[in-house]
Structure 1
Amino acid sequence: MAARTLREFLADPKGDGKPAPRELQVLIEAVSDSCRTISYLVSRGALADVLGSAGTGNVQGEEQKQLDVLANDEMMAMAKASGVVAAAASEEEEEARTITPGAPYLLMFDPLDGSSNIDVNVSIGTIFSILPAIAGEGAEPFLQPGRNQAAAGYCVYGPQTTLVITLGSGVAAFTMDPPTGQFVQTGSNIRIPEKTKEFAINMSNMRHWADPVRHYIDDCLLGELGPRGKNYNMRWIASMVADVHRVLSRGGVFMYPWDKREPNKPGKLRLMYEANPMSLLVEQAGGKSFDGREHILDILPTGLHQRVSVMLGSKEEVEVLERKHVGAA
């Protein structure tokens, strides 16, 4: 059987002969078009003079790279051109933008995750979340729990440009074919192994973590002589999209937990732009996600740029983290 293009997949995503909703197909194809454009800009890099700082900061107080700004502009223009996005919100902008009133979907995105890696040629990506449009003003329609997502995904720009999506019934992957620009399906019904010997966390922050996370890592570092009875490897790319892509590809657990340097913030990553879409993908692939208190997809957001602690990946490891947090409560 010939490999399916993204368009062919959307015409029958569950294999039951039923297409995805027409407007959702339009939006996901539009997102893939923007990812193709961003992939091209990333691949050109210094040749297109798009590396380095843009000389501006985003709403998070972070320095913006030139590619952050270009990717954000591309995603916003795509949302408008699609005709199916009522409003869009970006990690790079303080407020949501009204796009096409009355359209069926809301779009949220991190236009270029891992942008600190841009200038050193390490994998980066675009993360997106699609919610049903509901009544309300400003940010209000966006403040839905992650389980309400109609679709979510990311595109990682690495040795290959790979789009990974879920419409709420499994996870599929598509690799961009450079000569044609088509996204061709290269993975279906992706499953995260329940057991793993790999974790991803920034170990330089270990002294700042809460006890449950530190105790979990201590147990992992003891290897086969410790309570876990197996030797672990650590991986850390400092690009969530790349780290989670590895977890989806071969298992593991990704952690960006609360730490005591900013005790009044529940975490660093953004619930709406990063944690929710990645959690939906991970759970649809048989994994779990947790913020130290509850499942991430059950959190009721209170703001567009709400931060959250993130632990997600292989089911067995996340359940160990859950038990350690419950025991410390």
Structure 2
Amino acid sequence: MKAIYIASNGSAKDSFEIRDVAIPTISDDEVLIKVSAFGINYADVLCRLGLYPQCPPLPAVIGYDVVGTIESIGKNVKNLNIGDRAMALTTFGGYAEFAVANKGSAVKIDDHAPAGEALALGAQYCTAYYCAEELIRLRKDDHVLIHAAAGGVGIALVQIAKMHGCKIFGTAGSAKKLEFLESIGVDHPINYKESDFEDVIIDIVGKRGLDVVFDSIGGETFRKGYSLLCSGGRIVLFGSAEITGRNKTEQLEFSKDYGSIHPAQLMMASKAIIGVFILTVFQDKPKLATEILQTVFKLYTEGKFKPVVDRSFSFDQIAEAHIYLESRKSIGKVLVEI
């Protein structure tokens, strides 16, 4: 089979190699999927740049979400059959013509479900659901800030917050994205390139503050988000996109930008900081991963989740796909089709 390897850390044009390798074998609890499409996620960009601690040693095949046909199953697999069309979350290995997934991280999907939507449900919506429904409780009229609200996870978080009747603030970096955010129900879209989101929110809410902040940016953005929390407020940190494009010295400064918060300060202010690394969570809690995956797809079939797909690339356009996602021009899911 053909697989895309990160051969070295660096630019998208210089890092990838397409190699011919053996089709992987499976254990009793795994399935082998003939891949028709796989997702491109921001964690992939960080892996390529050498900024993702959990990335396997190079050369490596990354990729966390695939859609395809079940080619073979282990003897303990009961939820899927050979020939089923499925979406699966993989522990790396998704950038290939065949991929392996645990039985609990794969779900049968309709033959007519668009691949991009299915991929978004797997990676982005499962992350959003875990952050917003498993870790915290959103209430009607909560003031919620969602950073990168036009991204895959951001869109999912907006839809979840709307389901709960929250007042939503969302950041994005272009007029096009702000217009999109308005169209999906964000009450206060904020262009972070033109305005300081902290000042904008203070002008709107005053001393009331925010109930929840979802932060995939990190650094100074995290520190400002934390300062905006009201009593009982929670900030959920699930990414550090702002670290990209920085040299070693700047990365150190980025780490300092988070600030220093003592646990006693959290207690006295009645605030909470929650960190999420969804890959580890799903590896350590496979039953939870299965439950969330099934719930997310159920909400999709009920019409409550509506993934947005931005753009598809071909297998040999992997560099272009990374460049596009890294440019932060995308709105919704980016994928590669084989």
Higher RCO (CA 8 Å, separation ≥ 6 residues)? 2
TM above 0.5, one fold?
A: no
TM superposition score normalised by structure 2: 0.29
TM superposition score normalised by structure 1: 0.30
